[in-house]
Structure formats: structure tokens, C-alpha cells
Chain A
Amino acid sequence: MDLKYDVTIIGSGPGGYVAAIRSAQLGHKTAIIEKDKLGGICLNWGCIPTKALLKSSEVYSIMKKSDYYGVTAENVSFNFKNIIDRSRGVANDLSQGIGYLLKKNKIDLINGNGYILDNNTIKIQADNKETIISTKNIIISTGARPKELPGISFSEDVWSYKQAMVPDKMPKSIVVIGSGAIGIEFANFYNAIGVKVNVVELADRILPNEDGEVSEYAKTEFEKQGIKFHLGSYVNSITKSRDALNVELIHNINKKRSKLNANKVVMAVGITGNIENIGLEHNNINISDGHIITNEFMQTNVKNIYAIGDVAGAPWLAHKASHEGIIAAEHISGIQTHTIEKANIPGCVYSSPQIASIGLSESEAKNKYSSVKVGKFPLIANGKAKAISNDAGFVKVIYESATGELLGAHMIGDGVTELIHGYAIAKNMEGTEEDIMNTIFPHPTISESMHEAVLSAYDIPIHYK
């Protein structure tokens, strides 16, 4: 192996491997360094395996109410180990797929921990082997890891998402700390398979990054399914007595204390960038608040060193990381590239019902613009949602009155994560309300609600009001 590269990428998550492939496509001699499995957190411990788990719990939930559809299924049950095994199998398959893609693109994979010695040299430390490579450019995509709360560390009882994904045995009850996307997805999964779930959230609403109305609606839906929420509260202490954990909560305002019992705690209070042990300090690469600072082309203050994905800051989303990987690779090659508009990055929560959003929430939009138009369409008025008896949810859009710019779109309901890209395309192409009004949405689909929501923003809905 000739150890001289044009581009070397540290970390093979959805940012890193995409950057590597794009780099190779652009004719650069490319290497990628990975200390664990190809595909990073997303593929091995995040996006993908959790979707596998949630599909199992969804199938189980549907089968339990199969009578409703006129189908008889008796003695519906599940095998917890098989659910976990299927999820791992999916992750492993995809990880191997990345290996194949790297090979096909003639990208060298170097296993070990990458450490930047200087801006053209990287040392890769594997178990008993040290490799030094030289490289013209470096892309750091080392990702992030779950944060711990002060005084509460991960343990065999206090799980991170990683442990929550592969337990040996199903807990009877859990307390989930944090009601962001990760917390809510685990709460949904465990609740659906019969685990007693309590969710603790410091903010006064769940999914604090979503539109307020979506938070409210989701909370009601999840409560109907049996999940209990403790808002405006934080965990003060976790103590263990025999088999149970005692989780002491303190209400943030009235300081009232309360106790929850659970077998396990799932802590999902955010993540922090993996900025350690990769040589940032002695290369004087600027960092702030746990992530690397970059410009819009993902360049750090050291010109030939780039950072992408979670390690380059929020929002912590795989699709943002992949996109940044492409930008970095293209910027290195000098071809014209684009930059990311944060308001155009969609976000999804794969709970039941699902949640998907893009752009500003209603309150953010009202703060920023003097006049906005808000349109909302409930799924109970949508033919397809009625036909499948899954009509919980709504679609909401926010437009700037003056320009007809789509400022934000928020959806909750069955399958909405597969629909949000429609609004993403409209936003990216800077379409106005007319472009969506003039688009023909297929009938009968839930996507028709996207059309109706826009009509409603301009006071001309057909199927509602």
C-alpha cells in the first residue's frame, strides 16, 4: 500500500464514508480510517437498528388489534431475543455493504484510531500495529457519543442508547431521561412491547425542538398508549434497592420531589462530539463547546483539515453529515459546491405516530417575520388515513405572507417521515405556495394532506372547514 493520499477521512459513519466515496469519484486517492465497524453510530447503533426494533414493535401492535381489521390472530406474542437479533442482523448487513462500496471505489480502509500528527500526517494506532500515512487533506468525521448527566454515569442499570438496543433480557419498567428523538423512540419501542415507561423531560413539553402544537399532540397520543411523562423535571439521583432503581425527580420550578421505580434507566440527554485523542489540540484546531468549528465549506481553521457531521456540531443528523461530506470532498477538489441551509434540513422521529419537520416552528416564524400564514390539515379529513384506520395527526405549514416562502412544515401521523422530503424539495428550490398548490398529489394518499395544508394557509382548503 502506498501510504500517500489526497484525502484521508477519519471515521466511517454516514458523513465519513459518503465523503470518501465522493472524494474517490472526484479522482482523489482516498483512505478512510475506522477503529470499529464501518458505518459508524448511525448504521450500527443508531438510525438503522432502532428502525428495525420499531418495526417489530409496530407489527406486534398491529397484530394485537388485528380484529379491528377483521383479521383473527390469536395468542400474539414475541420473542425479545429474536427482535434484538433481527436488528443486529440488519446493521451487520449494511455495514458489510459499506465495505463493498469502499472497495468498489478503490478506497483504502485502515483499521485503527487515527491521530493527526501534523496537517499532512496521520498516525493510525491499531491493537499492536502503528501505521503512518501522509495526506494532502484530512476530513474529520469522528461523530459523537452520548452525554452523561452530572453525577449520573452510564452503567449496567443506566443505559445509553447503545445498551438500550441490545439488552439480554426485557426490563419490566424503564425511566427514559430526555424526550428528544432518541428518548421518544425508545419510549415508544419499549412501551409497545409491554414495558412500563416513564419519560422525564426538563423542558415544559416533550420533543422540545419540534413545533409546540406537534409536541402537544404527540404527548396526548403517547399517553393514550400508556407512556407517562414528567415535564419540567430533572433526575436528582438514582439509587438501587434490590432489583429496582429508585429515580428521584425534582420539579424544576416548585422543587417538589417525587420518586419513580424502574428496572432500568435509559439516558438520552444529548450527545457530545468525539474531539479527543485525534490530535486537535497540538494542531491548534479551533473547537467550541464540544465540537469543531468550520466555515460553510466545512473547513477548519487549518486550511486542509475539514470536519463534518456530529463532530462539527448540531443538528446531529446522519443526512446532514452525509451532505457535509459531499461539500467537503467537492471543496477539496475545487469544483463548485453548495452550502447547507440549516432551515432546509428535515428532522424525523420514528415513533407511532411518526413526526417529521423542516424549517421554523410556528412560534419561531412569528418571532422572525412580521406576517406569516399558517395552514393546518388534520388526517381525520384524509381519505387514505381513514381507510387504513390510522388517522391520528395533522400537517401544518407556515408561509411568509410577503413572499410566499415556505418557512416551516410540521407533520405528525402515519408514515410522515416518508413525506417530508416533498416540502424539503419545495424549500430547497425556493418554491412558493403556488408551486405546491399547482402540484398534483396522488389520491388516495396521506400526502394529499400536504397539499391541503397549503391551501388552508391561504384559506382555500377543499376538504376541511
Chain B
Amino acid sequence: MSITIYMPALSPTMEMGNIVKWHKAEGDQISSGDIIAEIETDKAVMEFESADEGILGKILIAEGSVDVKVNEPIAIILESENDTIEDLDIIDSNNMEATDDNEYSIIDKESGEDVVRELVDEIDTTEPDIDDGNRIFISPIAKRIAKDKGIELTDIRGTGPNGRILKKDVEAHKTEANVSAQTYVGTDLKLESGVSLESGVRLEDVSPSTKTDIINEGNKLNYTVTPIDTMRSVIAERLQQSNSTIPSYTLNIDASIKKLNEVRKKMNEDMLDETKLSFNHFLIKITSMAMLHTPEVNASWEGDQIYSYNSTDIGIAVAIDNGLITPIIRNVENKGLLKISNEISDLISRAREKKLSPSEYQGGTISISNLGSYGIKSFTSIINPPQASILSIGASRKVPVVIDDAVDIDELISVTLTADHRLIDGAVGAKFLAYMKRLIENPNLMLL
């Protein structure tokens, strides 16, 4: 018997994935739990474990393939060495509804390879264009643009009558299509980092749309072409959506961190081990406490209703190679500073290796972005939906203050809240920020 391995859905939103690497070759023994492949989803590269045992009989989708749809067969595992590939009942019955039995019986049972090839052919032809009842509806202009840009019609979601693919659907797809040139999607994700045309990439390797652009410009190729990788296109799409659909506003407040720094230094000294609490760890806890204090902030806009959350799940914006990701610390209200500190360092290091699972960066009820280490005084961020707000933390700065007719030195940071006005009104946002300031300036309140 054989088992068909399908493209897994590694996150709730995943519709397609890229096969970055096959860890097993055809003929390799596979045990349950073995990592057989690495699959790139919209935000991370995930390891794909086998739930089955046997011998990897056939790889149906090659390493480096992109935009493989969830539930598309990607490999076949044979349960024992005696099995041959022709025992493909599962594929036959589950996936090949269009294949009728008579047609199937012609296939030579002796040569497994051919059967697989036949099957792969079948899989290929069930998708494109016509003949099987899955006629693709597409407008003439959309069809022409898709053809010119080399976009597979099956990859485009149509929004017209009867799901007809319209010009705007193809245009919306074009950005994603830039990734589809195989050259750029190998085993190494670093390919995104600005491929210079002068540094040896042949024009043929550039995706059709990019190529057209270059020729049209008539330039001497004195610029570099960076294809959009999956992460960049997800970032672009989400931020665009956020910025164009959320009526946001910003509030800014200064808070003195003099006392907090003193407390923090003392705690770090007293802990007597390697653990060091940073300002961010305090900030995460303070944010959680302020959200409990002003629960209207801990909510999200869901079309015609508002979801209010019981837990405070806080995302931390982490810059990684060519992008950013916001791993989430869940239930911060139940966690102490030490636990927060341990979790965050683990999340950040795995984020940088692109090893986070989607459940570790999706959802969340607020995000924090801290650009203080770059000396940024204050800034605003774009809300990360479905979250309803985001905090932007600036650099600390020393300022002279007058206390009892004497000049003293205080240390301030700027905290900026960007909030979704649909559910967080200005006064509510202000109340939230004012309470954060109170906690920052009176860290003893954190014991409450």
C-alpha cells in the first residue's frame, strides 16, 4: 500500500506554500516524526514532519516549487519495500475523480515509474483551463495580461460574475507572481537581498514581469531588481489594508523612567544570576496592566461587532532579515517579569531564524514597537489587524527639570499610541496612555 502526502496547511490562513527543501530523497526510509521537508508559508519556514512510516517512493513536487496549493499531493510513501508505486488506490479514489476506471486499467502495472508519471500528468491537466468541467472564467483583457506576465490562471481568484477573473484580479496577483521565478526560490531565503543584475544574474532568470519592466525602461540596468518574497508581499498587503481601512489616530505622552531604571538596576543586581531584566520586559508587563485597567483597548473590530478579550496577548515587533515579525507573548497578565524575559528571548531568537510557528505570531491584542535603540525620539506605527492599537516607544533622553527651585536631571521616554478609532475613542486611548505613564513613573504600583 502507499500513502499520499499532501501539501499541509501549516496555519489557518495558509492556502499555498513553497517547498523549500526535501530532507529525504526517494528511496529513503521514513519514520513517523521525521522531518521530510521544509515548507515556506506566508511568514515562516516550517519543518514538515511525517505522520507516516515507510519509504519515500516518489517526490511529486520538486524542491524549490512555489505556490503549491494546500492538499495538492506532494509525495508518495510506500508502506513496505515490497510495495510498488502502482498501488495508488488512495490517489485514485480521492483525487482522481475525473479518471474513470477503464482508462486507468490500461496503465502498465509492471512499471511503477510510468504510472506515477501518468498520474502526475493527470494532476497537471486537471488544473489548467478546460475539458474537465472546471472551466476558468476570465475576461479577455485579464487573460491577455495574465498571458503576457506569465501568470497561471489557476492561481488567480476571480471577483467578477460567476467568479470571473477580471483585470484587477490579475493586477492584484502580479506582485505575488514576481516571486514565481524559480531562480529566486531555492533553499536559501537570503536570495531576497537585492539581486544585482550586474553581479551575474542573467536576464532569463528574472521573472517575466520584471524583465518587461527593464526593457521598457530602456535603462542600462544600473539598478538592482528585488523580487518580492512572500513575507514582503504579506507585509505590504496587510499594512496597505490596515492603512486604508482603519481610521486611526495617534496620542503621544512623555513618561519619566528615572524611578523605573533605579528599580530595574536594583532588581538585576539582587537577582544574583545571569538574568537581566530590560526596560522592554517592564514595558510589556505595564502594557498588560494598563489594558486590564482600560479594557476597551483590549478588543478588536470584527466588521459588525467588537470582540473584547480576557487575555492580554502582546506582540513585539522584531526586525529580521528583510522584514519584520511580531511574536506574541500570550496571557501577559498571568506572567511575571522573569517569565516574560525568558519567553521573549526565546521568541526573538527563533523569529530571527524564521523558526516561529504561525500560532506564535498570529493574533495578539496589541503590539509594541521600540525604536529607541536607534535614537528615534518618537514615532507612529501602523496597526497590525486584527489588533486595534500599537505602541511606539522612543529613545530615552535626559532633560533638565526644576524641582524645589533647583535644576535636576530627569530621563524621559516618549510613548505613542496609534489606535483604531472605530472602537477606541480618543478619551479611552488617553486614559490608557495616562495609566501607562503612571505605572512607568511609579513602578511600585506594578506590585498591585
Contact = CB atoms under 8 A, between A and B. Distances in A.
Interface in B281-327: 304
A429 interface: yes
A119 interface: no
A331 to B, nearest CB: 13
Q: Which one of B139, B141, B145 has the highest number of Cβ atoms from chain A below 10 Å of its Cβ? A: B141
Nearest to B212: A402
B161 A431 contact: no
B161 A430 contact: no
A405 B148 CA distance: 14
Interface residues of A, number: 12
A319 to B, nearest CB: 19
Interface in B137-153: 139-142, 144-145, 148
Contacts of B141: 403-405, 430-432
Interface in A395-428: 402-405
A402 B140 CA distance: 13
B167 interface: yes
A430 B143 CA distance: 10
Interface in A408-460: 429-432, 434-435
A402 B147 CA distance: 12
A435 B167 CA distance: 16
A338 interface: yes
Q: Which one of A402, A403, A431 has the highest number of Cβ atoms from chain B below 10 Å of its Cβ? A: A403
Which secondary structure dominates where chain B touches chain A?
helix
Nearest to B216: A370
Contact of A435 (B140, B142, B161, B304): B140
Contacts of A338: 161
B140 A432 contact: yes
A338 B148 CA distance: 27
Contacts of B161: 338
B77 interface: no
B119 interface: no
A355 B161 CA distance: 31
Contact of B142 (A303, A402, A430): A430
B440 interface: no
Nearest to B167: A430
Contacts of A303: 304
A200 to B, nearest CB: 42
B439 interface: no
B116 interface: no
B166 interface: yes
A429 B139 contact: yes
Nearest to A303: B304
A431 B139 contact: yes
Contacts of B148: 402-403
A430 B304 CA distance: 34
Interface residues of B, number: 11
A429 B167 CA distance: 10
A67 to B, nearest CB: 49
B144 A403 contact: yes
A435 B143 CA distance: 13
Nearest to A433: B140
A250 B141 CA distance: 49
A300 to B, nearest CB: 15
Contacts of B167: 403, 405, 430
B150 to A, nearest CB: 15
Contacts of A405: 141, 167
Contact of B166 (A404, A430, A431, A434): A430
A429 B164 CA distance: 10
Interface in B114-159: 139-142, 144-145, 148
B139 A404 contact: no
A240 to B, nearest CB: 53
A437 B180 CA distance: 34
Interface in B34-68: none
Contacts of B144: 403-404, 432
A403 B145 contact: yes
A430 B170 CA distance: 12
Contacts of A430: 139-142, 166-167
Contacts of B142: 430
Contacts of B139: 429-431
B159 to A, nearest CB: 9
A68 B30 CA distance: 94
Interface in A47-63: none
A432 to B, nearest CB: 5
A404 B140 CA distance: 9
A432 B144 CA distance: 9
Contacts of A429: 139-140
Interface in A329-346: 338
Contacts of B145: 403
A402 B171 CA distance: 14
Interface in B157-215: 161, 166-167
Nearest to B145: A403
A404 B166 CA distance: 14
A432 B139 CA distance: 9
A136 B166 CA distance: 34
Interface in A245-298: none
A303 B141 CA distance: 35
A431 B145 CA distance: 12
Contacts of A403: 141, 144-145, 148, 167
Contacts of A431: 139-141
A402 B148 CA distance: 9
Nearest to B165: A430
Q: Which one of A303, A402, A430, A435 has the highest number of Cβ atoms from chain B below 10 Å of its Cβ? A: A430
A338 B160 CA distance: 8
A68 B263 CA distance: 104
Nearest to A402: B148
Contacts of A402: 148
Contacts of B140: 404, 429-432, 434-435
A435 B144 CA distance: 12
Contacts of A404: 140-141, 144
A402 B149 CA distance: 11
A432 B304 CA distance: 40
A402 B144 CA distance: 10
Q: Which one of A404, A429, A431, A434 has the highest number of Cβ atoms from chain B below 10 Å of its Cβ? A: A429
Q: Which one of B140, B148, B166 has the highest number of Cβ atoms from chain A below 10 Å of its Cβ? A: B140
A403 B304 CA distance: 40
B383 to A, nearest CB: 20
A431 B161 CA distance: 15
A432 B148 CA distance: 14
Interface of A: 303, 338, 402-405, 429-432, 434-435
| 7 residue pairs, one from A and one from B, having the closest CB atoms | A430-B139, A430-B141, A432-B140, A405-B141, A431-B140, A430-B167, A403-B141
10 contacts: A338-B161, A402-B148, A403-B148, A403-B167, A404-B140, A430-B141, A430-B142, A430-B166, A431-B140, A435-B140
Given A405-B141, A431-B141, 14 more contacts: A303-B304, A338-B161, A403-B141, A403-B145, A403-B148, A403-B167, A429-B139, A430-B139, A430-B140, A430-B141, A430-B167, A432-B140, A432-B144, A434-B140
